[in-house]
Amino acid sequence: MSDILWIQGITCNGNTQSFLNYPNMKLFLKKYNFLYHPYLESSLNVVQAFEYEKKFDFLIIEGAVSKDFIRAGVNFYEKVKNLAKNAKYIIALGTCATYGGIFKEKDPEHITGVLYDKDKENGLLSKFKSKTFNIPGCPTHPQWLVFTLDTLNNFGKILVDDLSRPKEIFGYLTHHGCTRNEYFEWKVDSKNFGEKEGCLFYLQGCRAPITHGSCNKILWNEVNSKTRSGSPCFGCTESSFPRNNMFETKTFMSIPADLPDGVSKRAYLTITGIAKAFHIKRLKEKLM
C-alpha cells in the first residue's frame, strides 16, 4: 500500500468533502493508507503528522498557505517545506492550494498557493517542482485526484502543462463534452438558469470555453455537471478564479471580453456573423 499524508492549510474543507463522495472508496482504501487525514481513520494525529520525518509516498496539501498561518500550534508554511523533503510526490489539491484561490482575495499580499501565487511561482516549493502536481478545482473532482494518484503510483510520472496540472485532465476545456455545444455554435442564448436549452456563454457568464478541466467528460457523481444542470461554469480551475459578477458575461460592443480559447476577435466576428444569419427552428424550441 502507498502512504498518504493529507494536511490542510487555509481551507473550507471543500476538497475533503468532495473526496468523501468518491464512489469507489472501499477499493481506494485497499490501495492507499492514510498516515493522516483530517476526517478519515489514520495512524497519526495532526501534531504527529506535522512532525513526521520518515519517507512516504504522497503529501496532499489542501488549502492555501501563508507565512503567518498557524495549524496545530506550528507554522504551517515551514512544516510544509519539511514534509516535502520526505514525500515522493506532492499534490496541491484544490484551487486554493494551487493558486491561493478565494482566501487570497481576503489577503492578497500574504496568502498564496503551494507552488503558485495566481499564475506566478511563489517560491515555497520551487525546488520540489519536479515532484509537485497541481489539481485545481473548487472543489476538485474526486476522480481527478484518484487518477493522478494511480498514475503516479503505477508509472512514476504523469504529463503536466505549464502550470503543473495533469494534461490528461486539464488538457481539455470544460466546453468539451458540453451538451450545449450546438447552441454555442449557432449562437442560441440561454436567458434563464436551470433550462436545458441554449448556451450560457454569451449572457450568463459561463467560462467553459476558456476553462481547463474535464467536468463534462468525467461527470460529477457520475451523472451531471454545472452546464448540464443549467448553471454556468465559473472557471474555478483557473488562476483568475474567483472574479466579480460571475453570472454575467462582460462584453465590449456585444463582443465577449474573454473569447473562447484560441479564437481571435476577427475569427469570432466572422463565425458569429454567419451563425446569426441562420434561424434553426429546432434550436429555438423547448426540448420538452
Looking at the structure, do residues 207 and 126 belong to the same domain, yes or no?
A: no
Looking at the structure, do residues 120 and 262 belong to the same domain, yes or no?
A: no
- pLDDT at residue 225 in the model: 94
- pLDDT at residue 138 in the model: 96
Cα dist from 267 to 109, 261, 263, 271, 277, whole Å: 39, 12, 6, 6, 16
- pLDDT at residue 185 in the model: 86
> Domain ends where: 142, 166, 190?
166
Indicate the number of domains in the chain: 2
Looking at the structure, do residues 139 and 209 belong to the same domain, yes or no?
A: no
> Domain ends where: 166, 198, 219?
166
Stated pTM of the model: 0.91
Give residue-wise pLDDT tens across range 216-262. 999 998 899 999 999 999 999 999 999 888 888 887 767 777 778 87
The CATH number of the domain holding residue 89 is: 3.40.50.700
d(CA 192, CA 99) in angstroms, rounded, equals 31
Looking at the structure, do residues 126 and 252 belong to the same domain, yes or no?
A: no
Looking at the structure, do residues 202 and 126 belong to the same domain, yes or no?
A: no
Give residue-wise pLDDT tens across range 165-206. 999 999 999 999 999 998 988 888 888 888 889 999 988 899
Cα dist from 50 to 1, 11, 78, 237, whole Å: 21, 17, 10, 28
Looking at the structure, do residues 160 and 17 belong to the same domain, yes or no?
A: yes
Looking at the structure, do residues 149 and 191 belong to the same domain, yes or no?
A: no
Cα dist from 28 to 3, 146, 156, whole Å: 12, 8, 18
Looking at the structure, do residues 260 and 131 belong to the same domain, yes or no?
A: no
Cα dist from 209 to 137, 174, 180, whole Å: 16, 7, 11
Looking at the structure, do residues 25 and 138 belong to the same domain, yes or no?
A: yes
When mean pLDDT is compared across 28-42, 125-139, 271-285, the lowest value belongs to: 271-285
> Domain ends where: 123, 147, 166?
166
Q: Which residues contact 231 (CB under 8 A, 6 or more apart)?
A: 193, 194, 200
The CATH number of the domain holding residue 203 is: 4.10.480.10
Structural domain harbouring 285: 172-288
Looking at the structure, do residues 52 and 177 belong to the same domain, yes or no?
A: no
Are 128 and 92 within 8 A, CB to CB? no
Beta bridge partners of 56: 87
